[in-house]
Structure 1
């Protein structure tokens, strides 16, 4: 077990000083409007599904981050996937499961869930 060290009065741990292994960085908005639309429950589904596939913080896997507002709020909850720069509107548990299975595990963008630029 690695020891926790204090730096400038703050507990640190060597593992906290490295970027976790991942291929995709997934950000889910949990700002006030997305939370009203169910983002916290969708976060739980997202995390559970990725754990089932053993895809959290592993090579080829996913680094998960909750954010505040990402915009566009009226199309949320908003979930973004990098490095592909895909912006998704996820509205149900089924949407999250599909996104994990098709995009994050299968490697294919789920076109019909993408938030489209409006001119």
Structure 2
């Protein structure tokens, strides 16, 4: 009979990714009142971020495209988990700052941060 209190090898494994970076690539129709991150260039910034994270050899990090993160007025935006830190990225320089200060440096790119907050 199996001892169900024993730790299985599956529960001892580390997570597949330590860091998830979600880049909003939501696209609304042109002229929409809220705008959209994709219309502001988030798709190209996501591609750039993916390449830079790979070049920097940041282990166990994944840059993912996300649908609407519900902050399009503030975008293009990203959120990094597990910390849940939000940033607005408008340029490749912004992406580089997030990579250098947050992912590599372990701090925060304060000039680019969005307030955490919750929508109603």
Whether the 8 Å contact between 1:20 and 1:63 is mirrored in structure 2 is no
Q: State yes or no: 1:43 paired with 2:38.
A: no
CA RMSD of aligned residues (A): 1.8
CA distance in 2, matches of 1:80, 1:68: 12
Structure 2 counterparts to residues 59-98 of structure 1, below 5 A: 61-98=60-97
Offset of residue 22 of structure 1: 2.4
Q: Secondary structure of 2:90's match? A: coil
Offset of residue 21 of structure 1: 3.0
* TM-score, length basis structure 2: 0.73
Structure showing greater radius of gyration is 2
Identify which of 18, 27, 31 aligns with 1:23: 18
Q: State yes or no: 1:34 paired with 2:33.
A: no
Offset of residue 20 of structure 1: 6.8
Offset of residue 105 of structure 1: 1.2
Offset of residue 42 of structure 1: 0.2
- Structure with the largest fraction of strand: 1
Whether the 8 Å contact between 2:89 and 2:112 is mirrored in structure 1 is yes
* TM-score, length basis structure 1: 0.74
Q: Secondary structure of 1:115's match? A: coil
